[in-house]
Structure 1
Amino acid sequence: MTGIGVFLIAMVCSFGGSIPPGSINLSVMQLAMQNKKAGALTFAIAAAMVEFVYAGVAVRFQIYLTEHVEVASWFKWISGGVLILLGVLNLVKKVKQVERKEIGEKRAGFLKGMLVALANPLAIPFWLAVTAYLQSMNWVRLSADNYLLYVGGVSTGTFLLLVSVIYLGSRFSSIQDNVFVLYRLPGIIFVFMGLWTFIQ
């Protein structure tokens, strides 16, 4: 697969994986709806940079696994189990109204985006599981030569989703209230991905 293909697949997966509401995109949406688009944009840049680092850690470990078959053989079962667990959690999740706190202008920029994103280390196991699935499907073949393109795609997808949140504003807020789109559909997809990992 070409480097562009690796980049695009990572970008699409990251964009889709960033849609469910969390501290990052809810903070960006809050800033956008307060007409603080400059602060929201710097927040998005910082969050995308942290995602680059977290995804980089996950992908480097994934490359290690592909180079050590004896370890990768059992990790396949772990990654499949993680995907199924993520899916089940999404399917049974009871949705609560998220309290959207006011965010001050001075706290709304780059530093806050960095801190909020750093507080989300679950990105590492998420990208471990997703990357393992993509490789098991032969959609990507990661190596020391192209992993930066993959991680760059992850970071770009996160950034594009957050920019979409900024400019969609209240319209994105209505999407955030759709339980099926945000939780049930991703849950079904994750369960399918996990089961397919076991079948392969």
Structure 2
Amino acid sequence: MEALVAFLVAFAFSFTGSIPPGTLNLTIIQLGLEHRLVAARRFAIAAALVEYPYAWLAAVSGEWITTSTGGLNELRLATALVMITLGVCGIVSASTPPARVQRSPKSGFRKGIVLGILNPLAFIYWLGISTYLQGQQWIDLSSTVTLHSYLAGVTLGAFALLFLLAHLARRLAVYVQQSHWLRRLPGLLLTGLGLYALGQYLASVIQGV
């Protein structure tokens, strides 16, 4: 049951976190518009696979932060501040129009790997999410099965959105690029979770007084 919960939570955060326009999803939207669905599928698989090691490093780091921190209240405060900072940065960056991706005649698996590796924000995103989820004790990644279920959810969530964008590019391309609310959704989500953690910290401090 814990493995299934970890998978579903990771899938949801991965799918949502891949929404803001960036190099990866703009590239696959362009491939979809060009009717290059085979290349788009290969690109989606490669980009999603790169999420696995990034999320693994983040999950291990998050578990170490959670288990090595002496006080739960201090962890809640630190996590809240990190999440709020990431969320606010995401909201601010979403206000900047994304750059247009130049067409490349060789788009596919190799390009997905390269662009996925050149996306270090994935590690920062998953570090914040993993630390938060473990700090709130919503998931436990101490077991191998649960950890890899979590990582599978990360990978499949990213692939699901990229695959969806490739096949629905004509309908979604303009909407994804122009919808301010959709672009700000991950930032708003992170900010909300951070405020929730901050509220828990303040409540525990008040109770302890």
TM-score (norm 1): 0.89
Task: Check whether the contact 2:7–2:149 (CA below 8 A) recurs between aligned residues.
Answer: yes
3-state SS in 2 of match to 1:70: coil
> Which string of whole-angstrom CA distances, capped at 9 and with x for unpartnered residues, describes residues 83-112 of structure 1?
2122223433433253231121xx211111
Determine if the alignment matches structure 1 residue 47 to structure 2 residue 47: yes
| Partner residue in 2 for 1:141 | 140
**20-29 vs 190-199, which moves further:** 190-199
TM-score (norm 2): 0.85
| Partner residue in 1 for 2:33 | 33
Gaps of 5+ in 2: 201-209
| Partner residue in 1 for 2:197 | 197
What CA distance in whole angstroms lies between the structure 2 residues aligned with 1:125 and 1:97? 20
Query: Looking at CA atoms only, which structure, 1 or 2, has the larger radius of gyration?
Result: 2
**148-157 vs 124-133, which moves further:** 124-133
What CA distance in whole angstroms lies between the structure 1 residues aligned with 2:71 and 2:100? 43
Give how far 1:73 is off: 6.4
Gaps of 5+ in 1: none
What CA distance in whole angstroms lies between the structure 1 residues aligned with 2:72 and 2:101? 42
What CA distance in whole angstroms lies between the structure 2 residues aligned with 1:110 and 1:125? 24
Matches within 5 A, 1:165-184: 165-176=165-176, 177-183=178-184
Give how far 1:76 is off: 4.3
Matches within 5 A, 1:80-119: 80-93=80-93, 94-96=95-97, 98-104=99-105, 107-119=106-118
Q: Name the Cα RMSD after superposition.
A: 2.0
| AA matched with 2:104 | I
Determine if the alignment matches structure 1 residue 128 to structure 2 residue 127: yes
What CA distance in whole angstroms lies between the structure 2 residues aligned with 1:190 and 1:135? 15
| AA matched with 2:100 | E
| AA matched with 1:181 | L
Task: Check whether the contact 1:79–1:128 (CA below 8 A) recurs between aligned residues.
Answer: no
What CA distance in whole angstroms lies between the structure 2 residues aligned with 1:45 and 1:186? 22
| AA matched with 2:198 | F
Task: Check whether the contact 2:21–2:98 (CA below 8 A) recurs between aligned residues.
Answer: no
| Partner residue in 1 for 2:205 | none
